[in-house]
């Protein structure tokens, strides 16, 4: 029993951050790069690094994190304009050497790709998101990647439907026949609902404790478990994977 009703999904859309890998690993690496840049600019890099890690832990998608970190580290507000451009550039240009996917993610993506069109839909600076995908080593398994900010900035981040619409167009699949897998109800589940599609929420990462609002079709504790739920409705029992 799958609990699915109606026609099956024709494609799968996966989120990136905290769905395929723990975003905390990237944030720690980027914060260290900013600390080094602060030290090179004559600031005390250690407190800047520590303050930025605290700010990112409090909400990684909030704007102004470096500004607040500098203030928390004791940098006078009047000095911020002279330091921010270099530190923001250090954060944006940071290329992590390696990001470790959650256990089983690589095999789960391969299994999904064997039976359905597969894409990644992610929010954020396109340069940063591209660096993350490269560092995970998962890019070859994701033939279509849509970064919402490239479509119109922060204003079209999930749950705005522009990104999932672009995915549907790239895959040649009606948007309402996509199945979304992601960690955030307010973004991944909500963007699926915005186009009449369904979603599987993966309860892990920064938003693991967030309430299931809006409700997903299914909730799992890991990406491989979500992939199993998806495969049950993508591939009839006994069918041969292509």
Domain extents for the chain? 11-22+100-234, 24-93
Backbone φ and ψ for 145, nearest 5 degrees, come out as: -130, 125
> Which of the following CATH numbers is that of domain 11-22+100-234: 3.20.20.140, 3.40.50.1000, 3.40.1280.10, 2.30.30.60?
3.40.50.1000
The predicted model scores a pTM of: 0.90
Report pLDDT for 12: 98
How many C-beta neighbours within 10 Å does residue 175 have? 21
Lowest mean pLDDT among 88-92, 103-107, 221-225: 88-92
Q: Angle formed by the axes of helices 80-93 and 126-136, to 10°?
A: 40
Q: pLDDT tens-digit profile of 215-229?
A: 999 999 999 999 999
Q: pLDDT tens-digit profile of 20-78?
A: 999 999 999 999 999 999 999 999 999 999 999 999 888 767 678 999 999 999 999 99
Position 241 pLDDT exceeds 50: no
Q: Angle formed by the axes of helices 80-93 and 65-72, to 10°?
A: 130
Report pLDDT for 235: 67
């Amino acid at each position: 029993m799958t609990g699915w009703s109606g026609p099956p999904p024709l494609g799968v859309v996966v989120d990136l951050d905290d769905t395929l890998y723990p975003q905390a690993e990237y944030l720690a690496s980027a914060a260290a790069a900013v600390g080094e840049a602060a030290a090179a600019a004559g600031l005390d890099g250690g407190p800047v690094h520590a303050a930025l890690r605290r700010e990112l832990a409090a909400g990684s998608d909030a704007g102004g994190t470096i500004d607040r970190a500098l203030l928390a580290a004791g940098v006078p507000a009047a000095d911020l304009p002279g330091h921010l451009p270099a530190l923001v550039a250090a954060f944006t240009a940071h290329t992590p050497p390696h990001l470790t996917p959650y256990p089983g993610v690589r095999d789960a993506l391969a299994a999904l790709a064997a039976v359905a069109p597969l894409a990644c839909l992610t929010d954020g600076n396109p340069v940063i998101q591209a660096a993350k995908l490269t560092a995970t080593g998962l890019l070859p398994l994701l033939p279509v990647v849509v970064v919402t900010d490239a479509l119109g900035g922060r204003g079209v981040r999930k749950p705005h439907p522009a990104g999932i619409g672009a995915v549907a167009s790239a895959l040649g699949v009606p948007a309402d026949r996509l199945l979304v897998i992601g960690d955030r109800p307010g973004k991944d589940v909500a963007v699926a609902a915005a186009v009449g599609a369904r979603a599987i929420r993966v309860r892990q990462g920064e938003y693991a404790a967030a309430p299931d609002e809006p409700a997903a079709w299914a909730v799992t504790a890991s990406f491989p478990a979500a992939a199993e739920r998806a495969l049950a409705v993508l591939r009839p029992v006994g069918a041969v994977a292509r």
